Amino acid sequence: MTNLFKSVYISVYVTLLMLVSIHAAIGLWESGVISGWSGVAVAIWPMLFFFVRLFLSDVVRTSPNLNGFQILTWVGSVATLTLGWGSEPLTLQLAYSAGVGILGTVFYIYWYSRFQRDEAKFLRPGETLPVFELEDESGNTVSSDVFVGQPSLLIFYRGNWCPLCMAQIKEVAGQYKALADLGATVALISPQPHENTRGLAEKFNVPFKFLVDVDNKAAKILGIDAENGTPKGMEVLGYDTDTVMPTVLITDKDGTIIFADLTDNYRVRPEPETFINVLKEHGIA
């Protein structure tokens, strides 16, 4: 149920940021800079810029708490009260600054961005990778046995709709030669539709395995599924309501896990150098 609330929240929050930003711009045009609308702009525009930047730039990771953005929402709310005191519509301006600005940002940072993961004991280094089945972009069944016999880097990502996931894949694709030199097989796994995975494979054109976890079956076995984790409204683009928590696993040639990143924050992800160093430290070449 929590994920369902989150899926609705993120869609509503981003929509409100856009609508309030437009209203603030109109208010500034009509009332001037010395008005409560300046405070609203300071409280709202930075987070709107944050999301625009996620979609337009290759942002792979951010700071966990986005402290600068939080400070600006408070500064904007104080400015709204100070500059708008005694004028109309102060109540609405404060609702924008404190409600959408402060509360919206706090909920995004400390609630939406965080996962309540159960401890997956069998995904610890030293454990054997559980058996599961996937499908390639053409719908052919692929068993997890394919990852035995060579070291493998398994990246479970939420889907093409997730800008940080796409940036992470682009970052890893840029290191494909270094990973290949270490003899590692790279598998990118998502519960998204096959056509989206085919599009991703064509876009990057690297010797990776682009795989589909139909109905999140593998994610459920691994304990990394996120029921109702897709932002509400993405269904119209063909995505399922369920997704996966971003997870990275590295196994050796025997299928033993030697690295597991089970991030509890979708905005905090390991760098490719981490994967390369893990492979080197285990004498894989």
Query: What is the secondary structure of the chain as a DSSP string?
Result: -HHHHHHHHHHHHHHHHHHHHHHHHHHHHHH-SSSHHHHHHHHHHHHHHHHHHHHHS------SS-HHHHHHHHHHHHHHHHHHTTSTTHHHHHIIIIIIIIIHHHHIIIIITB------GGGSTTSBPPP-EEEETTS-EEEGGGGTTS-EEEEE---TT-HHHHHHHHHHHTTHHHHHHTT-EEEEEESS-HHHHHHHHHHH--S-EEEE-GGGHHHHHHT-EETT-SPTTGGGGT--S-EE--EEEEE-TTSBEEEEE--SBTT----HHHHHHHHHHTT--
Cα dihedral 25→26→31→36 (10° resolution): -50
**pLDDT at site 119:** 66
**pLDDT at site 221:** 93
Q: Are 233 and 253 in contact (CB under 8 A)?
A: no
Measured distance CA(56)–CA(54) in Å, rounded: 6
**pLDDT at site 230:** 93
**pLDDT at site 120:** 67
Which domains can be identified in the chain, with CATH numbers?
2-112 (no CATH), 121-281 (3.40.30.10)
**pLDDT at site 242:** 93
For residue 109, CA distances in Å to 66, 67, 69, 248 come to: 7, 10, 10, 22
**pLDDT at site 223:** 92
**pLDDT at site 88:** 84
**Residues forming beta bridges with residue 156, ordered by sequence position:** 189, 247
Phi, psi of 250, deg, nearest 5: -125, 130
Q: Are 184 and 218 in contact (CB under 8 A)?
A: no
Sign of CA dihedral 260, 264, 269, 273: negative
Query: pLDDT tens per residue, the chain (285 residues)?
Result: 788 999 999 999 999 999 999 999 999 999 999 999 999 999 999 999 999 999 999 999 999 999 999 999 999 999 999 999 988 899 999 999 999 999 999 999 999 999 887 766 678 999 999 999 999 988 999 999 999 999 999 999 999 999 999 999 999 999 999 999 999 999 999 999 999 999 999 998 889 999 999 999 999 999 999 999 999 998 888 898 999 999 999 999 999 999 999 999 999 999 999 999 999 988 766
Instruction: Give the other-Cβ count within 10 Å of 61's Cβ.
Output: 17
- For the record, the structure tokens of 251 come out as 């196994």
- For the record, the structure tokens of 242 come out as 């369920």
**pLDDT at site 212:** 97
**pLDDT at site 266:** 94
